[in-house]
Chain A
Amino acid sequence: MNLIARFFYKYRRFAKALRLYLIIAGPGIIVMVADNDAGGITTYSVTGAKYGYGLIWFLILLGPVAYFVQEMTVRLGAVTKRGHAEAIFDAFGSFWGWFSLLDLSVLNWLTLVTEFIGMTAAMAIFGVPSYLTVTIVAIVMAIMVLQGRYWTWEKLAILFCSLNLVYIPAAFLVHPSVGSIISHGTIPHFPGGFNGEIVFILMANIGTTIAPWMVFFQQSAVVDKGMREKDIRMGKFDTLLGAIFTVVVAIFVILVTGTLLYDPSIGSHANIGSAAEAANSLMGIDRYVGTFLAIGLFDAGFLGAICISLASSWAFGEVFGWAHSLNNKIKEAPWFYVSYFLILITAGLVVLIPKAPLVLITLFVQVIAVTLLPAALVFLILLLNNEELMGKYRNSTLQNVISYSIVVAIIALSTTYSISVLFPGLLK
């Protein structure tokens, strides 16, 4: 009897915790899954095609890095009830505020263009013309935000997040060798030696794991959801779950392209430059796997697009003092929705321009991201160390040691990455 009572008590506690989590779940898991956007999937596809399973260990290491950065935004949002853009203006003054807002706007818009590039490339594999893809995406995104509730938007976004799991069945279809994954993927090493090419791939993977829009998005989402200090624990758990999810998906993408497209005889010279190219090549090898990869790429671009466009609109609303919640109707927050659609439609139209400099845009995204990322991270840590602002939720010594190490490493590597994008011959 005692055993049954104890079991029942534990079950009740678990059920209560699960119910609470389902209420709080959202910002962490969405931001982390959307982190695997079109650019992210491209990076993982290329990593697998060039190095097989050889860099899986590196992605496993990146999971905790993403978690430590993003959990800070949960605490900051829940305690200050302010988005990141407003928090920077308030804490550091208008100079740094305008710098962050302008940089974020330009970067988000360019990143949104790359999401549309990914989505149109993925749908082109199924013969869908670009204009149709852009139109349908814009309509679906409009329906998602105009229904007037943050909660509904969030649950729809989580539904699209689950589509990201399409890489798991795709990986099972290609029958990767478990022994090979363990022996090549889990032991830290640099396939082909530590050269310029591998540094470029490592840095691209870091760049896709931590992006400036993620910091702005999650903090604003935490505020829009109305999370409070008591929700921080669940918010952190949500972020942790998202970090695990994002790494698992990234590993499965690598398993697919690493099994089918990596040729050990020519090693890192596999000629795959994007996820769309990988999906196209896989169509010739296994139609189902190619289809899964293309669906995954479209979904990745879509998730990136819904989060990035919102991150910008939230930031504008915070700074300009407009009503800026998804709980507001269009009449209550006209400027919030106008900015959202302006960003979305202009980015979609760029992809439709014949001979638009899409490669140059992708290059700019990588370079501009590096100007905002260090600033966003430095501001984040300084804010998290402010006792007046954060009270008992400020960073502990251990959290500071971890976050400072991450920031220094990211600044060093992302700067090197930016320079290697600008001067490709320098690291060869």
Chain B
Amino acid sequence: MLENLREWLDMRVFEVIRSRASVITEINKKYAKPRIKMTRGVKIALLLLRLYLIFLVLVLGYKFVLMALAGG
């Protein structure tokens, strides 16, 4: 009985995960190609944004290392 229930639950969980994954794949496919014209200005703006976000992630990482060291 318990085993059947577990099997059923496993099936349901996998089904949900599969359907969610297919939705995400579909969205990725739908928006695979950016619609905006990639001019030099747009490319530079997006590059600067990436660099800025990498910088912020590094700062956050550094803060967590400091916090971990202080905790240890």
Chain A residues within CB distance 8 Å of chain B: 89-94, 96-97, 319-320, 367, 370-371, 374-375, 378, 382-383, 386, 388-389, 411, 415, 418-419, 422-423
Given A97-B31, A367-B60, A422-B59: A386 and B52 interface contact (C-beta under 8 Å): no
Please state if B45 and A93 are interface contacts (CB–CB under 8 Å): no
Name A388's contact: one of B37, B42, B52, B60 (CB within 8 Å). Answer: B37
CA–CA, A388 to B56, complex, Å? 33
Q: Supply 18 A–B pairs (Cβ within 8 Å), ascending by A.
A: A89-B31, A90-B35, A91-B34, A92-B46, A93-B32, A94-B31, A94-B32, A367-B60, A371-B53, A374-B49, A375-B49, A375-B53, A378-B45, A382-B36, A383-B36, A386-B36, A415-B56, A418-B59
Name A91's contact: one of B35, B45, B53, B56 (CB within 8 Å). Answer: B35
Please state if A418 and B56 are interface contacts (CB–CB under 8 Å): yes
Chain A residues with Cβ below 8 Å from B32 are: 93-94
In the assembled complex, B23 has its CB within 8 A of some CB on chain A: yes
Q: Which residue of A lies closest to B56 (CB)?
A: A371
Residue from the set A97, A419, A422 with the largest chain B CB neighbour count within 10 Å: A422
Chain B residues with Cβ below 8 Å from A320 are: 23, 27
CA–CA, A94 to B32, complex, Å? 6
For chain B, the count of residues having a C-beta within 8 Å of the partner chain is 20
Name B27's contact: one of A91, A319, A418 (CB within 8 Å). Answer: A319
Given A382-B42, A382-B45: A94 and B36 interface contact (C-beta under 8 Å): no
Name the distance in Å between A415's Cβ and chain B's nearest Cβ: 8
Name B34's contact: one of A92, A370, A418 (CB within 8 Å). Answer: A92
CA–CA, A303 to B33, complex, Å? 38
Taking CB atoms and an 8 Å cut-off, the chain B residues in 40-72 that contact chain A are 42, 45-46, 49, 52-53, 56, 59-60, 63
Q: Which residue of A lies closest to B36 (CB)?
A: A91
Given A89-B31, A94-B28: A422 and B36 interface contact (C-beta under 8 Å): no
Taking CB atoms and an 8 Å cut-off, the chain B residues in 1-52 that contact chain A are 23, 27-28, 31-37, 42, 45-46, 49, 52
